Amino acid sequence: MTDSAVLSADDVAEGRNRRSRRRLLNLVIDGVLLVFSLLMLLPLVFLVSNAFKTPAELLSWPPTIIPANPTVSNFSAVIADTPLLVWIGNSLLFAILSAIAILITSAIAGYILAKFRYRTLTVVFMIILATAIVPFEVYMIPLYLEAQSLKILNTTWGLLLGYLVMSFGIFLIRQNVAHSIPDELLEAARIDGAGELWIFWRIVLPLLRGALGALFVLAFFQAWTAFAWPIIVATKRESYTIEVGLALFQTGFTVDLGRLSAASALVLIPSFTVFVLLRRNFVQGVASTGLKE
Amino acid sequence: MLRKKRWFFAILTLLPVLAIFAAVRLYPIGETLRLSLHKWDILSRNKPFIGLANFQELMGDRLFQEALLNTTIIAFGVLLITIPLALVLAALIHYRVGSRLGPFFETAIFLPHVVSLVPAAMAWKYIFDARLGPLNAFLSLFGVPAQSWLFDPRLALFCVIVLCSWQALGYAVLIYLVGFKSLPVSLYEAAKLDGASGPQSFWFLSVPMLKPITLYVSVVTLVSGFNVYAQAFVLASDAQGAPGRQVRVLVLDMLENSFRNYRVGYAASEAVVLLLIVLLFTAIQFSLLRERGRA
């Protein structure tokens, strides 16, 4: 007891030494991570800063990080030159409708596949899981032909056709229902005379709020950042999504960097906002994609 | 009676969802497989069955070979950059879990994964710009002459890899962080008592125990690497401004065949090749996981 309570001067010195070495190590690690994080952000910082630069400053060498004479003329010019706001509107509508559709289809299918155990449904679930492996790019051309025969090319419905269901969403909700909603709860409600629809609406959905929130954000971003599908479905200037509009706008010869950056910076605003507001949901949703067995 | 009612409810609610699922997933996947075996051109009225002729033609198609090679280099390049970097970063972030800067690190590294593809590509296009870009400005500090990053086919390929890695990194770090949190703390304490240093327990404990996660992230990264399109489209326009020509990728070649050359059947056979590649990776992942399970 006394041995351990009374420390020799050497022990104290060594302890202090180790502690200070540890603190130094922590400082170094923080430093490394900080530099790396800033490097990761640097391209976006340049993008936003270029949006506020005057044409003269954009051409100056070496490039500056903070604009000397910030101007918003790039923003007004790009909004006047291109239907940028229409494109953003198209994308927003597409992303929100797609997220809602995915939420509905995933909630229904996920719940039924988790709580109604029939052999047919097990097979159905296996098929859904198997298709989750197939990348969108593999079947988008037949899907395009489908949209063409439905005469919904260049419309929001055409865009939506590819983004109505999400195999992973069905899987996510099924796992959530299976783990977080006990059979007894549903049975108790049934004994009390509750109808199936009432149970789904009043018991199941409220309990799935967290998972549905994560799925909504995931689905929203999936549609918001979609590229290959919108570029083949929306081929008229006024039906472009923002990604397609920007990508084609930047191939033009006469476009200047300031306007391009301004347009890009505008597009980043919704992503940033949703991400900052719903960071928890988003991280949870993305992390759960890694948990599929 | 009650059971019948429940079965009825299940089918009735599930049926619309399954109908949609069949229409927008199963049917197009089946169609891709069917079209790949047909000479299915938009312009010709006859669309005869031609067996594997499309695939035979692919074997000798120079553009397809170029696209396949580029795409493979991109996918594996991204993998080689992303996985080791993500593992180390996640380990450092996990080690500094109490740090006040922790949330900032996570956000900064994850943000590129959320940002839309095209603005992100635009941001990098400026970085790599030969005349105005910060990269050349930075390199000139060390006396490195200006490179035309985006107009040299090899350098452009490298640029696409950098852009894709920048985007893929956040996801990998996030998944690794989840993995690190699930590792047993007691094991690390025991290692520490035995005198293991930080790097040692990282290399001999974390890396082997995170192998299933590494496997999973690798497959996800490879698969998304093989589907690369927007990044090359924006970043690698050729001197005439034709998008994506500098670095031809699989999806671009596929879309050109079906929408420029109107050869839908031929494009479908490329899609089938893409599918086979993805299936191969998934099969490898599952077989390695099973092996581990048995061991």
What's the pLDDT tens digit per position in B29-42? 999 999 999 998 87
- Cross-strand partners of B49: B38
- pLDDT, residue A2, reads 46
Q: What is the pLDDT of residue B294?
A: 59
Distance from CA of A288 to the nearest CA of B (A): 9
Asked if the model's pLDDT at residue B269 lies above 70, the reply is yes
The amino acid present at B279, given as its one-letter code, is L
Residues A36 and A158 in one domain: no
Mean pLDDT computed over B96-118: 87
Residue A10, helix vs strand vs coil? helix
Which pLDDT score, from 0 to 100, does residue B159 have? 94
Of A39, A71, A103, the position where a domain reaches its end is A71
From A25, A48, A71, give the residue that closes a domain: A71
Tell me how far the alpha carbon of residue B96 is from its chain's centroid: 29
Which residue among A29, A40, A290 sits closest to B95, beta carbon to beta carbon? A29
Instruction: Using alpha carbons only, give the angle B27, B32, B38 rounded to the nearest 5 degrees.
Output: 120
Question: Searching chain B, which residue's CA lies closest to the CA of residue A103?
Answer: B17
A108: domain CATH number is: 1.10.3720.10
Residue B132: what pLDDT?
A: 81
CA distances from A228 to A62, A89, B231 (A): 36, 19, 11
Q: For residue B125, which residues of chain A lie inside 8 Å, CB to CB? A: 250
Helices assigned H by DSSP within A116-226: 119-131, 136-149, 156-161, 167-180, 183-191, 196-199, 205-207, 209-224
Instruction: Give the residues of chain A that fall short of pLDDT 50.
Output: 1-3, 292-293
Per the CB < 8 A criterion, the answer to whether B29 and A138 are in contact is yes
Q: Are residue A96 and residue A32 in the same domain, yes or no?
A: no
Query: CB distance from A256 to chain B under 8 Å?
Result: no
Q: How confident is the model at residue B80 (pLDDT cuts 50, 70, 90)?
A: very high
| Inter-chain touch B123–A46, beta carbons under 8 Å | yes
ipTM of this predicted complex? 0.88
Task: Based on the fold, state whether residues A154 and A272 are members of the same structural domain.
Answer: yes
Residue B86 lies in a domain: yes
Confidence (pLDDT) at A1: 43
Residue A166 shares a structural domain with residue A178: yes
Average pLDDT over residues B72-101: 93
Contact B13 A112 (CB under 8 A): yes
| B22 located within any domain | no
Cβ of A109 within 8 Å of Cβ of B114? The answer is no
Q: Is residue B1 part of a domain?
A: no
* DSSP codes, B118-145: HHHHHHHHHHH-TTT-HHHHHHHTTTPP
For position A292, what pLDDT does the model report?
A: 47
For residue B143, pLDDT over 90 is answered with: no
Q: What pLDDT is stored for residue B6 in this prediction?
A: 84
3-state DSSP assignment of residue B38? strand
Select the residue of A139, A287, A291 nearest B32 (Cβ to Cβ). Answer: A139
Residue B265 within any structural domain of the chain: yes
pLDDT at B271 over 90: yes
**Contact at CB, A286 and B282, closer than 8 angstroms:** no
Q: What is the CATH number of the domain that holds B158?
A: 1.10.3720.10
Tell me, yes or no, whether B18 lies in a domain.
no
DSSP 8-class letter at B22: I
Domain count, chain B: 1
Asked if A121 and A208 sit in the same domain, the reply is: yes
User: Taking CB atoms and an 8 Å cutoff, what residues of chain B touch A49?
Assistant: none
Domain that holds residue A133: 75-289
Does residue A65 sit in the same domain as residue A106?
Answer: no
- DSSP lists the bridge partners of residue B38 as B49
Range of the domain at B203: 53-294
- A80 shares a domain with A65: no
pLDDT digits (tens, 9 = 90+) for B215-253: 999 999 999 999 999 999 988 876 666 777 788 999 999
A225/A216 Cα distance (integer angstroms): 14
Q: Count of domains in chain A?
A: 2
Tens of pLDDT, residue by residue over A45-95, are 999 999 999 888 888 777 888 888 888 898 998 888 889 999 999 999 999
Q: Which pLDDT band holds residue B152 (cuts at 50, 70, 90)?
A: confident
Average pLDDT of the residues in B108-119: 89
Tens digits of per-residue pLDDT, B42-65? 777 788 899 899 999 999 999 999
